[in-house]
A and B are shown apart, each in its own frame.
Chain A
Amino acid sequence: MNIFSTLLPFASCVVSFVFAFLVFKRYLARRGPHLLLWGIGMTMYGIGGFCEAYYGMFGWNPLVFRLWYLFGALLVAAWLGQGTVYLLAKRRWADILMIVLGLASIYGAIRIFGAQLNPTQMGANELSHKAIVSGGVPWLTACLNIYGTLALVGGAAYSIYIFWRKRILLNRVIGNIFIAVGALSPAIGGTLSRLGIGGVLYISELLGAILLFIGFIRATTPMASAPTATASVATPPVEGPEK
């Protein structure tokens, strides 16, 4: 058993599932489509980590690879980003984008489960998109990941700016910094992996899961001491800025 290629993704898997459980719990208490989508997104993150750990421990399995590619490489960023879209964008636009994402997800699942695979194209220690021989899927992956990362990181950066400009809700400013960096981490790792630089993907995924988790906890927990204030300002009721 390779510790690097088994324990790192397994740790990502555990962190992601615990995080997803807390997000679903919050969803049941407070509702809101953004919480449901973040919960689904973190569950996908956990499935991706599980598949990577499985590959590290037991080796190649076509079904595990397809599940990894679908949830861990294709959908996770886009579904997490869609949660942020529901939090920040007008409901009508968020619904339209959700329909597009749903259709793209179904199309991606069909393509991935029908794709030709060649595991000899991958490295020995990390799962990689290179095992997919059929064309078309990497393009869809790139589009969904760019959309998801832009929505998640851009949304967090926008929230930081809005709260920072008004000097309110420091906990959400700090939480969103962690969320932005946490979302960037696997995106950078995935890009480096596609550039042929191996060995960073699993670390970046674990780091991302931990930072996203910390960011969520920080954003949803008030600071022990409020920032210096001389005026009272109404605070937005949600994790992001008001629409």
Chain B
Amino acid sequence: MTDNEQHLSSERKYPALYEKLVTIALGVILVAIVVLLIAAATVALGLFSGK
């Protein structure tokens, strides 16, 4: 992040509720991507063949 961007982001704020929600959502989405990739890999490798 450049100095200019740091300066801007320190001045600009979303409403308080969104500040928290967006952070949580980003975290959940990233975790979901990792979990999904692991699940897809295990299915593709045949570790879980299903019934």
Within 8 A of A (CB), among B5-46: 5, 8-9, 11-15, 18, 22-23, 25-26, 29-30, 32-33, 36-37, 39-40, 43-44
Whole-angstrom CA separation of A193 from B8 in the bound complex: 46
User: How many A-B pairs fall under 8 Å by CB?
Assistant: 98
Q: Establish whether residues B50 and A166, one from each chain, have CB atoms under 8 Å apart when the complex forms.
A: no
Q: Which residues of A contact B (CB under 8 A)?
A: 130, 139, 142, 145-146, 149-150, 153-154, 156-157, 160-161, 164-168, 170, 173-174, 177, 180-181, 184, 187-188, 191, 193-196, 227-231, 233
Q: Establish whether residues B15 and A227, one from each chain, have CB atoms under 8 Å apart when the complex forms.
A: yes
Out of B11, B26, B43, B44, name the residue touching A160 (CB < 8 Å): B26
Out of B12, B29, B44, name the residue touching A228 (CB < 8 Å): B12
Out of A142, A160, A168, A194, name the residue touching B12 (CB < 8 Å): A168
- Complex A-B: 5 CB contacts under 8 Å: A130-B50, A153-B29, A164-B26, A184-B29, A227-B13
Q: Establish whether residues B8 and A233, one from each chain, have CB atoms under 8 Å apart when the complex forms.
A: yes
Q: Establish whether residues A166 and B5, one from each chain, have CB atoms under 8 Å apart when the complex forms.
A: yes
Whole-angstrom CA separation of A188 from B33 in the bound complex: 10
Q: Establish whether residues B36 and A231, one from each chain, have CB atoms under 8 Å apart when the complex forms.
A: no
Q: With A191-B39, A195-B50 known to touch, is A231 a contact of B44 (CB < 8 Å)?
A: no
Q: With A160-B22, A161-B26, A227-B13 known to touch, is A166 a contact of B33 (CB < 8 Å)?
A: no
Whole-angstrom CA separation of A158 from B37 in the bound complex: 17
**Which residues on B sit within 8 Å (CB–CB) of A153?**
29, 32-33
Whole-angstrom CA separation of A166 from B43 in the bound complex: 39
Whole-angstrom CA separation of A231 from B22 in the bound complex: 21
Q: A165-B1, A173-B22 are in contact. List 20 more A-B contacts (CB 8 A).
A: A130-B50, A142-B44, A146-B37, A156-B29, A157-B29, A161-B26, A168-B12, A173-B18, A181-B25, A188-B32, A188-B36, A191-B43, A194-B50, A195-B43, A195-B48, A195-B50, A228-B15, A229-B11, A230-B11, A233-B8
Whole-angstrom CA separation of A139 from B45 in the bound complex: 10
Q: Establish whether residues B43 and A231, one from each chain, have CB atoms under 8 Å apart when the complex forms.
A: no
Q: Establish whether residues A191 and B29, one from each chain, have CB atoms under 8 Å apart when the complex forms.
A: no
